[in-house]
């Protein structure tokens, strides 16, 4: 434990960096991934906004982003990040590739949760004169909500994992700290403590997500 106190300031800073990186990823997932996933679903064959072209383009984009080895995606996006933020180095810059993978990751899980909604419920909504917007917010998201929460939980845990390699662009975070101070300086004990912090964090998130999704599921 002594060693933890010795590095207390750095540890807190790295935890803060992880929270920033994961927090921005979560925002991107909800604000952009959720709508993209909803379009992926609605543009499928036989669905309300059936559109082969929009579906194929979105589907391809999501697949391509997700099939990149993440480290290569980060490097590949450096020019784009620089264009957007003026720099490709640091915690803020690290949120760019993280947000992009977050959107692709969560949108796919959103699409899958929405596929679980019985088609008849949407048909009943159409028969009641609901618009597409009303169908999405008053029927689709309500009926799929526990799946959406579980999907977000899975996504957040992946974002934490992705964030651990952001040291390559100076993003910092718990993972980077564990590698630089623990692994590279042969302080195995320190590295173990960092891993324990990550495990606890993931457990907490999974527990919260599972509980919430169970409570809101009335099916």
**Considering only CA atoms, which of 97, 96, 118, 115 is closest in space to residue 107?**
115
Q: Which of residues 141-170 bind other proteins (CB under 8 A)?
A: 142-143, 145
> Which residue, 43 or 174, is less far from other proteins as judged by CB?
43
**Considering only CA atoms, which of 65, 61, 151 is closest in space to residue 114?**
151
Applying CB under 8 A, the site for other proteins has a residue count of 21
- Which of 39, 139, 159, 162 is close enough to bind other proteins by CB under 8 A? 139
Residue 137 as a binder of other proteins (CB under 8 A): the answer is no
Stretch that binds other proteins, among 9-17, 52-60, 122-130, 162-170 (CB under 8 A): 122-130
Residue 121 as a binder of other proteins (CB under 8 A): the answer is yes
Stretch that binds other proteins, among 26-34, 70-78, 119-127, 171-179 (CB under 8 A): 119-127
* x-marked contacts with other proteins along 30-69 as a string, rule CB under 8 A: ----------------------------------------
**Considering only CA atoms, which of 151, 215, 163, 217 is closest in space to residue 194?**
163
Phi-psi region of 170 (alpha: psi -120 to 50; beta: other; left: phi over 0): left
Residue 116 as a binder of other proteins (CB under 8 A): the answer is no
Q: Note whether 174 and 194 are within 8 A (CB).
A: yes
CB of 62 to other proteins, least distance (A): 27
Stretch that binds other proteins, among 27-35, 120-128, 164-172, 189-197 (CB under 8 A): 120-128
First-to-final CA distance of the chain: 47
Residue 129 as a binder of other proteins (CB under 8 A): the answer is yes
Could you write out the DSSP letters of every residue in 16-84?
A: HHHHHHHHHHHHHIIIIIHHHHHHHHHTSTTSTT--HHHHHHHHHHHHHHHHS-HHHHHHHTHHHHHHH
CB of 101 to other proteins, least distance (A): 30
Question: Which two three-digit tokens encode residue 213?
Answer: 């999704």
Residue 120 as a binder of other proteins (CB under 8 A): the answer is yes
**Considering only CA atoms, which of 73, 98, 93, 74 is closest in space to residue 82?**
93
Question: Which two three-digit tokens encode residue 72?
Answer: 């290569």
CB of 214 to other proteins, least distance (A): 13
Chain residues in the site for other proteins (CB under 8 A): 118, 120-121, 123-124, 126-131, 134, 138-139, 142-143, 145, 216-219
């Amino acid at each position: 434990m002594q060693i933890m106190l010795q590095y207390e300031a750095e540890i807190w800073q790295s935890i803060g960096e992880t929270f920033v990186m994961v927090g921005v990823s979560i925002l991107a997932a909800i604000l952009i991934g959720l709508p993209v996933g909803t379009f992926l679903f609605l543009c499928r064959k036989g669905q309300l906004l059936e559109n082969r072209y929009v579906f194929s383009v979105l589907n391809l984009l999501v697949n391509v982003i997700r099939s990149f080895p993440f480290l290569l995606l980060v490097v590949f996006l450096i020019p784009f990040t620089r264009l957007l933020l003026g720099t490709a180095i640091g915690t803020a810059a690290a949120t760019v590739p993280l947000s992009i993978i977050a959107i692709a990751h969560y949108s796919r899980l959103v699409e899958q949760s929405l596929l679980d909604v019985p088609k008849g419920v949407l048909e009943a909504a159409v028969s009641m004169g609901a618009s597409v917007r009303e169908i999405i917010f008053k029927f689709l998201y309500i009926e799929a909500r526990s799946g959406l929460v579980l999907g977000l939980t899975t996504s957040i845990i992946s974002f934490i994992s992705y964030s651990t390699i952001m040291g390559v662009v100076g993003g910092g975070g718990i993972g980077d700290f564990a590698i630089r101070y623990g692994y590279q300086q042969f302080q195995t004990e320190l590295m173990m403590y960092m891993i324990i912090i990550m495990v606890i964090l993931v457990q907490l998130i999974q527990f919260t997500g599972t509980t919430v999704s169970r409570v809101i599921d009335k099916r």
